[in-house]
């Protein structure tokens, strides 16, 4: 009896306020999609950071015949003795976790593997163009500068290159995107909350006759307010479901492309995608219910 009565009241309410309901659902969907997108990029960035932190953070390129830096021109190409010294010095440093020597042949092969799907890059680089190098992994990737200072200028070393610094620029861009998406989504969510408040106010006004009689015959506050609260919650739920569609689309279209740029396989797990969707839907439902509740407290008093 109760359930059926409440459900029919909700249906009447949603139908009577169709235009407002559509407006609420749209606003909620857009704001939640932005919110979820922001969360998704955020998670992707932190996963990529982790991925890179675990890998090479410092590359020391050795001098070759064709190197044009001043140290290389003074000292000529690196000798085997210099390589051995550098390797043992690096290995003795506290900040260094591991050192890997990559010969020129290996470097060329790695390059070909990495750009296997990019014929132009492969054609542009010939064997011998790539110098041999040391890939140094640090205990703490942020201590890059100390290690670099130690090695810089030693005979046989051409340049020291920090992968992270280049990545930081890209991560910075993604961070900016995340912040922008989240900021816009919060403004939108605030707008959605106001819109819901207005819709509920209209609904309460439309049904003031019913609610007045309900109050008179002693219906509890909860019983009077429930249909309105559930109306808000349902609008929030539908908005959240639409938003999760957008989020899934963003995951497969946008993030997949970002991963392709990086040429590395850092895929967000289905679990984290589901958690983003879950958070968005719960946020939508909560927001709508709370906004409805606060409005009702003002317009549907005992």
Partner 1 sequence: MIHFENVTKVYTTQKHPALEDVSIDVGKGEFVFLVGPSGSGKSTFLRLVLKEEKPNKGRVHVAGKDLARLSNWKVPHLRRRIGCVFQDFRLLPNKNVFENVAFALEVIGKPRRFIRKVVPEVVELVGLEGKADRMPDELSGGEQQRVAIARAFVNRPQILLADEPTGNIDPATSIGIMKVLDRINRTGTTVVMATHDAAIVDSMRKRVIELEEGEVVRDQTRGVYGQAY
Which residue, 11 or 262, has its beta carbon nearer to partner 1? 11
Distance CA 32, CA 171 (A): 23
Alpha-helical regions (H) of the chain:
2-16, 18-53, 70-75, 80-92, 104-114, 119-124, 144-151, 163-206, 208-216, 221-250, 256-262, 270-299
- How far does Cα 296 stand from its chain's mean position? 36
Which residue, 171 or 223, has its beta carbon nearer to partner 1? 223
Which residue, 209 or 257, has its beta carbon nearer to partner 1? 209
Distance CA 1, CA 88 (A): 82
* Beta pairing partners, 101: 134
**Does 213 interact with partner 1 (rule: CB under 8 A)?**
yes
Q: Which of 148, 155, 210, 293 binds partner 1 (CB under 8 A)?
A: 210
**Does 217 interact with partner 1 (rule: CB under 8 A)?**
yes
Closest separation between CB of residue 223 and partner 1, Å?
Answer: 6
CA-CA-CA-CA torsion sign (216, 220, 221, 223): negative
Tokens linked to 244: 């999760």
Which residue, 205 or 262, has its beta carbon nearer to partner 1? 205
- Whether residue 284 contacts residue 28, with contact meaning beta carbons closer than 8 Å, is answered with yes
Size of interface with partner 1, in residues (CB under 8 A) = 18
Q: Who's near 112: CB < 8 A, 6+ residues apart?
A: 122
End-to-end CA distance of the chain: give it in Å, rounded. Answer: 24
- Whether residue 281 contacts residue 239, with contact meaning beta carbons closer than 8 Å, is answered with no
Which residue, 170 or 293, has its beta carbon nearer to partner 1? 293
Closest separation between CB of residue 210 and partner 1, Å?
Answer: 6
Residue the block writes with tokens 């992270």: 164
The window from 83-91, 171-179, 213-221, 269-277 that contacts partner 1 (CB under 8 A) reads: 213-221
Q: Which of 109, 215, 279, 293 binds partner 1 (CB under 8 A)?
A: 215
Tokens linked to 2: 């109760």
**Does 126 interact with partner 1 (rule: CB under 8 A)?**
no
Q: Which of 170, 171, 223, 246 binds partner 1 (CB under 8 A)?
A: 223
**Does 257 interact with partner 1 (rule: CB under 8 A)?**
no
Site for partner 1 in 5-64 (CB under 8 A): 5
**Does 299 interact with partner 1 (rule: CB under 8 A)?**
no
Distance CA 271, CA 47 (A): 13
Closest separation between CB of residue 215 and partner 1, Å?
Answer: 7
- Can you give the binding site for partner 1, defined by CB under 8 A? 1-2, 5, 209-210, 212-221, 223-224, 302
């Amino acid at each position: 009896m109760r359930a059926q009565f409440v459900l029919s009241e909700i249906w009447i309410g949603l139908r009577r306020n169709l235009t407002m309901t559509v407006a609420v659902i749209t606003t909620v969907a857009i704001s939640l999609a932005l919110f979820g997108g922001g969360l998704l990029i955020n998670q992707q960035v932190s996963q990529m950071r982790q991925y890179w932190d675990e890998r090479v953070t410092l590359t020391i390129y050795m001098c070759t015949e064709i190197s044009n830096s001043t140290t290389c021109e003074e000292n000529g190409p690196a000798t085997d003795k210099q390589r051995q010294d550098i390797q043992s010095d690096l290995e003795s440093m506290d900040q260094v976790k591991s050192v890997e020597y990559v010969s020129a042949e290996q470097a060329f092969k790695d390059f070909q593997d990495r750009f296997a799907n990019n014929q132009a890059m492969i054609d542009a680089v010939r064997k011998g163009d790539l110098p041999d190098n040391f890939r140094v992994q640090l205990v703490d990737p942020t201590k890059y500068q100390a290690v670099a200072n130690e090695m810089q200028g030693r005979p046989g070393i051409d340049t020291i290159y920090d992968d992270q610094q280049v990545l930081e620029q890209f991560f910075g861009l993604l961070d900016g995107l995340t912040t922008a998406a989240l900021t816009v989504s919060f403004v939108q969510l605030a707008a959605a909350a106001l819109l819901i408040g207005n819709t509920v106010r209209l609904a309460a006004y439309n049904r003031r006759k019913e609610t007045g009689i309900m109050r008179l015959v002693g219906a509890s506050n909860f019983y009077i307010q429930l249909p309105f609260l559930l109306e808000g919650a349902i609008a929030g739920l539908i908005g959240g479901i639409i938003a999760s569609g957008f989020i899934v689309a963003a995951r497969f279209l946008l993030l997949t492309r970002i991963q392709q740029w990086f040429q590395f396989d850092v895929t967000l797990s289905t679990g984290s995608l589901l958690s983003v969707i879950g958070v968005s839907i719960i946020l939508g439902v909560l927001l709508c219910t709370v906004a409805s509740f606060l409005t009702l407290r003002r317009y549907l008093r005992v």
